[in-house]
Amino acid sequence: MKNWDLTAARAADRKDDLARFRSRFELPDGVIYLDGNSLGPLPVGVRERISELIDNEWRNSLIRSWNAHDWSDLPFEIGRKIAKMIGAEADEVVCVDSTSINIFKNLSTALQLRPDRQVIATPKGNFPTDIYIAEGLSKQLGGNYSVRLIDHEDPIAGIDDDVAVVLLTQTDYRTGYKLDMTAITQAIHDKGALVVWDLAHSAGAFPVDLNGAKADFAVGCGYKYLNGGPGAPAFLYVAKRHQNLVEQPLAGWHGHAEPFAFESHYRPADGILRNICGTSPILSMASLNVALDAFEGVDMQMVQNKSQALCDMFIDLVESRCGEFGFVLATTRDAGRRGSQVSFHHENGYPIMQALIARDVIGDFRAPDILRFGFTPLYLSFEDVWNAVEILHQIMESGNWDQERFHIRAAVT
Ligand SMILES: *Cc1c(COP(=O)(O)O)cnc(C)c1O
């Protein structure tokens, strides 16, 4: 444990090789943003690109833009950029739909590859949409299909010969516990099942190596660590060895072998392309496409190293300076098993988080009692971490968090 103070924090910033990347983001003055794991901030260049797209491409070129401005290639151009960040081949990733919809497609495909097995296994504490989509698919299929809820930290214990596919979020959204993708993929394969990795809290947060882990399928969000903007489209990965073996059920015209032949029957395109359903949201995709350039020349290993240092510092400081106020660490102390976030339990988690947000320290609250703080090394400094804990200390010591207005629950927490 290091003895942090403001001088030590500033010294760490001066030695930080990633500090220069902060200029790639437009952050409001005075805000300490610890929620880039939920909605990434605005990267430099997005505003200009969207204006250009609206003022020139949409307004002037109109429908000609699909060809003239390569709109048609956007799902693949973005896919190629994300592929590099998650250890996939360029033609194994496509930007499409939402994470929820991509989970549906990947699970459906995986089930077809294991026709003699009828269980989808997923952790009981998984992000709700992951569980709900699995349940919806299982109901839709009828028969003996079912969803089995397993343990996130020991998923293998819940897997037997009935399990066709395991849907795992690599980094738990509440606790930040990170699974060893290589070891767990291997263990799942040893049991004869397939795996869908949800990279919502992995892609853009630390190095991911899907191919190195021999992963089967993966999905992830465009608006979290990838900073693509509110509701940005998601990505989907299918290992090349599976791509042409089965069809996914949302067989829209853009996944057809020849969409502009307008045939009366569906024939899937080859490769990753068959996972596209309909027309892409071009404004959102253009935003994500430019946002990803914020990672240009960034070494993800360095991002992980700094993230671990920021998280360790935050844990040390909350425990040493706010220890008397009842915060209980929900995240593991083992940096190797942790995503890029730190969570604390606190019975008054909701009003405390609202009080922090009112002081421009933005994290979020996850029921029932978790204060969640995301650490994004490209734009956060060690001084930010120092200041965030200083403000938390002030709020707790003064009792300022316990105002009526901080107890009122908003629709989005
Ligand atoms: C954020 C998140 C999602 C979001 O899915 P959407 O379809 O984009 O709403 C899904 N899964 C996990 C694990 C998440 O953290």
Q: pLDDT tens for residues 16-75?
A: 999 999 999 999 999 999 999 999 999 999 999 999 999 999 999 999 999 999 999 999
Q: How far apart are CA 148 and CA 128, in angstroms?
A: 14
Would the CB of 33 count as within 6 Å of ligand 1? no
- Residue 1, pLDDT > 80, answer no
Please say if 114 is a catalytic residue. no
Would the CB of 186 count as within 6 Å of ligand 1? no
Q: Which atom of ligand 1 is nearest to the CA of 130?
A: 11
Please say if 190 is a catalytic residue. no
List, in sequence order, the alpha helices (H) in 322-376: 349-358
Would the CB of 104 count as within 6 Å of ligand 1? no
- Residue 126, pLDDT > 90, answer yes
Number of helices followed by number of strands (H, E) in the chain: 13, 15
In a domain, 203, yes or no: yes
CA of 261 to the centre of ligand 1 (A): 35
Q: What is the CATH number of the domain that holds 349?
A: 3.90.1150.10
Domain final residue pick, 295, 313, 336: 295
Would the CB of 98 count as within 6 Å of ligand 1? yes
Give the strand order in the sheet containing 194-198. 93-95, 235-238, 217-220, 194-198, 163-169, 119-123, 146-150
Q: Does 288 share its domain with 343? A: no
Residue 410 DSSP symbol: P
Q: What is the CATH number of the domain that holds 155?
A: 3.40.640.10
Please say if 132 is a catalytic residue. no
**Three-state secondary structure readout of 50-98:** HHHHHHHHHHHHHHHHHHHCCHHHHHHHHHHHHHHHCCCCHHHEEECCC
Q: Does 259 share its domain with 360? A: no
Q: Does 106 share its domain with 172? A: yes
Q: pLDDT tens for residues 163-185?
A: 999 999 999 999 999 999 999 99
Measured distance between the N- and C-terminal CA atoms of the chain, rounded to whole angstroms? 32
Mean pLDDT value across residues 343-355? 98
Q: Does 403 share its domain with 348? A: yes
Q: Six-digit token pair at 17?
A: 């090789």
Q: b/e per residue, 149-159, with b = 16+ CB within 10 A?
A: ebebeebbebb
Q: Does 255 share its domain with 400? A: no
Contact 355, 406 (CB under 8 A): yes
In a domain, 303, yes or no: yes
Give me the number of domains the chain comprises.
Answer: 2
In a domain, 56, yes or no: no
User: Residue 42 has what pLDDT?
Assistant: 98
* pTM for this entry: 0.98
Domain final residue pick, 253, 274, 295: 295
Q: Does 111 share its domain with 240? A: yes
Q: pLDDT tens for residues 206-241?
A: 999 999 999 999 999 999 999 999 999 999 999 999
Question: What 3-state class would DSSP assign to 167?
Answer: strand
> What domain range is 189 assigned to?
70-295
Which is the catalytic residue, given 104, 177, 217, 223? 223
Contact 117, 148 (CB under 8 A): no
> To test the ligand 1 pocket, which listed residue (38, 99, 201, 370) has its Cβ within 8 A of the most ligand atoms?
99
Q: Does 84 share its domain with 131? A: yes
Q: Does 76 share its domain with 201? A: yes
Please say if 372 is a catalytic residue. yes
Q: Six-digit token pair at 365?
A: 């609250």
Average pLDDT, the chain: 97
Q: Does 10 share its domain with 106? A: no
Tokens 């795996």, residue located? 195
In a domain, 1, yes or no: no
Which is the catalytic residue, given 24, 178, 366, 372? 372
Reported as a pLDDT band with limits 50, 70 and 90, residue 302 is very high
In a domain, 64, yes or no: no
User: Residue 2 has what pLDDT?
Assistant: 76
Nearest to 229 by CA among 307, 172, 292, 170: 292
Which is the catalytic residue, given 127, 173, 344, 365? 127
Q: Does 197 share its domain with 249? A: yes
